[in-house]
Amino acid sequence: MSTFTSSTSINRPIHEVYAFLADFNNHQKLMPDNIQEWISTADEAHFSIQNMAKLSLKIESRMPDQEIIIVPAAKPPFDLKLKWSLSFDNDHTDILFTIDADLNMMMKMLASAPLQKLADHETNSLTEILS
């Protein structure tokens, strides 16, 4: 299993950050420009990655003001799990975004950089939107 992480800290109450992340409709705002054909509900999202693959994701579990776990809704090219972990410290919310991907050696060489870039892009976008 390969793990890609990115963290940020936002000067907002944890319940506001959680409320934003708990609704999959908001995740389109976090995605990079190569994400196309976005269709979502509060619990699921379907989209394509330009010149690559189509993905369907769903929120598997929500722990209010703590954690959101996202898993594939349909069979992906490789197994993966996305997790948003939240904690509140004084006047800001600390956020850790983790992508766990089951990559074989060839896929690891091809997908590691884009997956880390995605993790960083999502946390940077979240910071811009909620700051």
pLDDT number for residue 95: 98
**8 Å CB contact between 37 and 47:** yes
User: Tokens at residue 68, please?
Assistant: 């959101």
Tell me the C-alpha distance between 115 and 83, whole Å.
13
**Backbone φ and ψ of 113, nearest 5°:** -65, -45
Q: How confident is the model at residue 102, as a pLDDT?
A: 95
Question: 51 pLDDT band (50/70/90 cuts)?
Answer: confident
Domains assigned to the chain = 2-123 (3.30.530.20)
pLDDT at position 90, please? 87
Cβ count within 10 A of residue 69: 16
pTM greater than 0.85 = yes
What is the mean predicted confidence (pLDDT) over 3-20?
97
In sequence order, the 6+-apart residues with CB closer than 8 A to the CB of 96 are 5, 6, 7, 84, 85
pLDDT exceeding 90 applies to what percent of the chain?
81
